[in-house]
Amino acid sequence: MSIQWFPGHMNTARKEAAKTMEAIDVVVEVLDARIPSASCNPLIEELRLARQRPSLKVLNKADLADPTITQAWLGLYNRQPGVSAVALSCRHAGDAAKIPQLCQPLAPHRHSSAKPLRMLIMGVPNVGKSTLMNMLLKRRIARVGDEPAVTKVQQRHKLNDRMAITDSPGLLWGTIKDPQVGLLLATVNAIGHKVVDDEAVAEFLAVILLARYPARLTARYGFGVARMTSSDVIDAIGNTRGCLLTRSGGGIDRNKAARILLSDYRDGALGRTTLETPDRRAEEHMPVISA
């Protein structure tokens, strides 16, 4: 599944990000802890390396991710030069408040009113950038929503006399050619639902859950999963949740059942699960950039 989804404002955001990169000190890249590699935009890495800017990789939504696998990802990223990584949940004010202090060691020369630390928040859509911004400023200045691409323009704010932070729109690459990366992004709702098939995404998710977290499916939906296929899982959810095409029982509404599974996963109703493991280096998973 090759996904092409590049709203007009993203092209503008790409150009603005390249320009802003000249005037900042640290890139705060927000990732989804459940898919750290797939949610790592290679364009962001390209822009920051071109300007030789250090990066704090924030594995957000860590409260939804498998903690053991999260630690493995942190180990991978913290071994990379110019990179520091942390796992947290930006919905918690105490977690969000750690970000500026974690950025400071990456640019120790910027720590005064004359030379304030300038941070830029970046990431793919719907990973929690706006939530982080609101928590840091302790007021609602950025719109937060369940749909990707909520933030449309950059927003710069002072945290104090020694720190300033800029929020940027979610940034994807033009064509996602790696089918697995596209499906992973769709699973966590980083891509608009109008350009992906919910049933295909749900079956992809079911394959991973059957392999790694089968007991979570049984606990949530009340059916055994032995010898089930991903298609069987969708049918079983449809049966248990009464997803019928007609009141007279004209078959299972698989699309509705698929949306139930995706919604439950995104909301954390299936427990702390991670869809990617760092068995290979993150760079090997990166999709091709195509404008």
Q: What is the CA radius of gyration of the chain?
A: 20
| CA nearest neighbour of 6 among 172, 195, 145 | 172
Q: Which residues are bridge partners to 15 per DSSP?
A: none
Buried b (16+ CB within 10 A) or exposed e, 239-274: eeeebeeeeeeeebbbebbbbbbbebbbeeebebbb
Instruction: For residues 65 and 56, give the distance between their C-alpha atoms in angstroms, rounded to a whole number.
Output: 19
* Measured torsion, CA atoms of residues 95, 96, 97, 98, in degrees rounded to the nearest 10: 60
Give whole-number Cα distances, 271 to 37, 145, 186, 224, in Å. 20, 22, 19, 17
pLDDT of residue 79: 96
Residues of the chain with pLDDT under 50: 1, 144-145, 147-151, 280-291
Pairing mode, if any, of strands 55-60 and 83-87?
parallel
Give whole-number Cα distances, 235 to 32, 131, 230, in Å. 29, 35, 9
pLDDT of residue 196: 82
- DSSP annotation of 165 reads E
**Which pair of tokens denotes residue 177?**
């050619």
Instruction: For residues 176 and 220, give the distance between their C-alpha atoms in angstroms, rounded to a whole number.
Output: 32
Query: CATH second-level architecture of 176-267?
Result: Orthogonal Bundle (1.10)
pLDDT of residue 290: 33
pLDDT of residue 174: 63
pLDDT of residue 52: 93
CB 256, CB 238: distance < 8 Å: yes
Contacts of 52 (CB under 8 A, 6+ apart): 82
Pick the CATH number of 3-175 from 2.30.130.40, 3.30.1330.60, 3.30.450.40, 3.40.50.300: 3.40.50.300
**Which pair of tokens denotes residue 154?**
């950059």
pLDDT of residue 125: 87
Q: What's phi and psi for 166, nearest 5 deg?
A: -120, 130
Q: What's phi and psi for 127, nearest 5 deg?
A: -95, -5
Q: According to CATH, where is 1.10.1580.10 located in the chain?
A: 176-267
Q: According to CATH, where is 3.40.50.300 located in the chain?
A: 3-175
Instruction: For residues 16 and 53, give the distance between their C-alpha atoms in angstroms, rounded to a whole number.
Output: 16
Instruction: For residues 236 and 224, give the distance between their C-alpha atoms in angstroms, rounded to a whole number.
Output: 10
Instruction: For residues 96 and 161, give the distance between their C-alpha atoms in angstroms, rounded to a whole number.
Output: 19
Instruction: For residues 121 and 144, give the distance between their C-alpha atoms in angstroms, rounded to a whole number.
Output: 15
CB 188, CB 142: distance < 8 Å: no
pLDDT of residue 102: 96
Q: Which residues are bridge partners to 120 per DSSP?
A: 27, 166
